[in-house]
Amino acid sequence: MSETWMNDNLCSLDSGGAVDMVRVERGPKRIELEVSDANLSDAVTAVHYKLGRRDALGRLLDPAEAIRRLNAHVEAGLANAEAVAPVIAEIEAGRATAKMHGLAELKLGDKMVVADWRQKHSPFVWYIYRKEIKRETQANGTVSEREIFNRIGEASTKEAALEAARQTATEMNGRVPEMVEM
């Protein structure tokens, strides 16, 4: 088994002659916070966490409230209707996509999951990923497959993450990645 450090935060482990089967990557801890204006502030969470956008699990953050606020800004003369229309259309498209994939819409006061990029609540952690095949059946019945790295664990130290990754790579022994039906 060999280990290749791609940079200071990413290591690839081979397994039984098969390359890049397990990865260890340092990154922000995923945490739960209440959906609120205070928690969606750029001072608390990354700039992409906003009403009408997605949390770290792909759930929309109160799109109805986002649209209501945009319309209120237009009515109050604080925003141009032509500028707001594409933003509302994007939120509505996100709602349709989320519904198609069975993803919930969160409301103000619900719990969202965010990546704590600013390390306001938790230090970075080390994630362990295993290569798998993601198989999806399309609406027309065709099946598509692609390789993904599925997160299987996390550790607070690099040493603990590498130990778990080495164990996973040993167990895989270079065999064909497990099939994951989506």
Task: Report pLDDT for 181.
Answer: 61
Q: Which domain holds residue 47?
A: 31-115
Question: Which residues have a Cβ under 8 Å from the Cβ of 77 and sit 6 or more positions away?
Answer: none
pTM of the model: 0.72
Token pair recorded at residue 16: 């039984």
Residue that is last in its domain, among 67, 83, 115: 115
**What size, in residues, is the chain?**
182
Q: Which of 135, 144, 60 is nearest to 99 (CA)?
A: 60
Same domain, 93 and 148: no
Tally of domains within the chain: 2
Neighbour tally for 107: CB within 10 Å:
13
Question: Within 20-80, where are the H helices?
Answer: 63-75
Question: How many other C-beta atoms lie within 10 A of the C-beta of residue 118?
Answer: 13
- Separation between Cα atoms, residue 111 and residue 94, nearest integer Å: 19
Tens digit of pLDDT for each residue in 75-116?
Answer: 999 999 999 999 999 999 999 998 888 888 999 999 999 999
Could you tell me if 62 and 108 lie in one domain?
Answer: yes
Q: Are residues 57 and 88 in the same domain?
A: yes
